[in-house]
Chain A
């Protein structure tokens, strides 16, 4: 219960942040030249000023900024994200269509980066300053230093064009009418390259953190105690060191959830994935304020939810947190 109270307090503290972000973004976008109607008119191939005036009135864009902001926040309380003029659908529907791809990509990339970062970090720390450590650390540096779009493009060139192992883009084969297990496998095949591209950079970060944290924990007194008990090195690492060394990694997941959402814009563009990131980019170009605000709202909720889970996990892993010491 103490854990829930602790995490609940963090949750409550993040609500004002959410409102601030939304208001800030709303005001910021008013500074950008042009609005939804300009974008719509451009799509239609132009029109006269009277039509534009009518459209503005229709979408409620003729009101003052304060009135529109007030309206938006009021609707938000009832979880109504508004209507997207560009897509001609409620924003909630647009976002829900795009959310699965992004969620899958994030979860896959995060798991990939976390798992392999952990394993490689442990390996590097166990062989510190010997060739496996040097090799792993160098690879990590290369992953970290390479821009992800370049990685994505090279992966497409190698694995899709030359080797033809994986598809070059998209979320699933449209037109094949796959269902059930076949569809799942197809989606998985499509997500391999994007996951690798997005995950490699984070893998490099996790790997470095894990290596440093393992080295630190290995030098602590209780590891010496474990050695003095006559435990094998494997048991020392798995039972005593690993859990202690993982704490900084867990913190990092919470911190990087937001970064990962940002990184997915690039990856979704490169691999033509119908995800939130690309939707956000398109909404900015089309001045689709409602959709953009909706995406920010959902992304913020996502980051808050992940951090809530991380808090719970952290408290579960480290009993000292709960006792409030």
Chain B
């Protein structure tokens, strides 16, 4: 039997965790030339599976029983020296974060040629020649130039191509991909997925592909295994699992994937504009006499209007200027030109007043809360600074906690005691505490699991219905935008490519960029057909 076989593998967690096993007797097999997608939410054990196969389990984790075999060899019986001969040569891995997975102080060529120098004993010169060929195979625009480039000189997608070239350098029998496209833009993601699939077919590699995204699964998988809390709950061919899921957990996960076709346009309340953006410009220019960098126009004449009580989505890829827009609206960044009017008044420089006009919900629920202060204090802090009495502000914090679906008494606890979804609810409560005219949400659900994501989106919709919130919603995820937004603005390179009611823009995109974005959304053919 060739390929990878995992049988009845159990891995113990250190004592004192929320469960005893990271993996509780899972069995999986990947044949040569096959792509097995392992899907699951955070904590399901999918990444532990990958590290176990690589022999790189985190300290504290131990294999309790079971076996992992690659070809004829029992991987769990390898000595450290045998492991080193196996890693890279027979099993290779592509990691999630292309920004940090490469050594910043070493050229791409140096890191790539290491594979042949270490495993095949080639001279530096021969290895560099091989590296050049490998970079050509992953279709990097300027392979010879990339060889001498440092990682920071490449874009995220290009770095991930380098990682793939490195992983496939020695034609391994097994390629493990751990969320390789999660950090990439949707069009780049589509290209990288296609590249992995092409190369895998050409080299007849077995691929263990770990992801949380059913869209990606639909694009790339031959077979799917769904994991939950250390168990494989369902396994089968991709068509079967995605279209006729048997296990309730799989069904729930699939139901939580937001459909790309927007619900029918709801009647918009005719209340006039709450946020008006007129001809906004912002340029990141070179500073200082010696530093000559090309000026980047992050905002280039952006004009848009958010009607009171509705949601305006700003969609685009990284570098499109959408986050700059968000920062300008909440007054964290000055404009070069144009005006922002909130509730009829121009945005003031006065922080105290601006705080009541717009508040922001941040992307990363882990980094955006102070770990050393109780969450209630963080929610109450804004109102107290604005002059509300402490007792009143705390009472308001408790009321807000109930409103966003948390225990009111949880205000005394600290951020680490909450899950990611709960923290994002706290983030929303913190923003609402200032009773802002406009709520700016900058990718509020992109760091969350799909089921949690669905809950937070539902919360935002509920709050909008109850409080009449006006939301400026920044996202790169078109599925999310389709579900939440009334109107949408598509941004590209600081300009507005297209704007209009979301159903209209998504079903009938007129601009070429919108069309390419929609075409790149993974899993359309499978998920939207059913």
Contacts and interface: CB of A to CB of B under 8 A. Distances in A.
Interface string A223-252: 011111111100100011001100000000
B169 to A, nearest CB: 9
A229 B152 contact: no
A235 B110 CA distance: 13
Nearest to A241: B103
Contacts, number: 84
Nearest to B149: A319
Given A222-B103, A317-B105, A228 B56 contact: yes
Interface stretch (B85-93, B130-138, B228-236, B513-521): B85-93
A174 interface: no
Contacts of A222: 100-104
A231 B56 contact: no
Interface stretch (B111-119, B389-397, B418-426): B111-119
Given A221-B97, A243-B105, A320-B152, A227 B87 contact: yes
A244 B151 CA distance: 14
B77 interface: no
A239 B105 contact: no
A235 B114 CA distance: 10
> Chain A: interface residue count, which band?
20 to 34
B490 interface: no
> Chain B: interface residue count, which band?
20 to 34
Nearest to B112: A229
Given A225-B95, A230-B89, A319-B150, A324 B293 contact: yes
B166 interface: yes
A317 B152 CA distance: 14
B108 to A, nearest CB: 11
B56 A224 contact: yes
A160 B166 CA distance: 59
Nearest to B163: A225
Nearest to A322: B150
A24 interface: no
Interface in B270-323: 288-291, 293
A225 B92 CA distance: 9
Contacts of B118: 229-232, 235
A43 interface: no
B100 A229 contact: no
B527 to A, nearest CB: 31
Interface in A167-189: none
Contacts of B293: 324
Contacts of A225: 93, 95, 101-103, 163, 166
A5 B290 contact: yes
A228 B87 contact: yes
A319 B114 CA distance: 20
A33 B92 CA distance: 75
Given A227-B56, A319-B105, A221 B100 contact: yes
A163 interface: no
B119 A230 contact: yes
B95 A230 contact: no
B54 interface: yes
Contact of A228 (B88, B100, B105, B106): B88
A229 B290 contact: no
Given A224-B56, A320-B152, A230 B86 contact: yes
Contacts of A244: 103-105
A94 interface: no
Interface string A199-232: 0000000000000000000001110111111111
Contacts of B84: 230-232
Contact of A224 (B83, B95, B106, B119): B95
A315 B163 CA distance: 26
A320 B150 CA distance: 8
A244 B104 CA distance: 8
Indicate the member of A231, A235, A244 with the most B CB atoms within 10 Å.
Answer: A231
A318 interface: yes
B240 interface: no
A237 to B, nearest CB: 12
Given A9-B289, A221-B101, A225-B166, 11 more contacts: A225-B102, A225-B163, A228-B92, A228-B93, A229-B87, A230-B85, A230-B87, A230-B89, A231-B114, A231-B118, A318-B104
Interface of B: 54, 56, 83-89, 92-93, 95, 97, 100-106, 114-115, 118-119, 150, 152-153, 163, 166, 288-291, 293
Interface of A: 2, 5-6, 8-9, 220-222, 224-232, 235, 239-240, 243-244, 317-320, 323-325
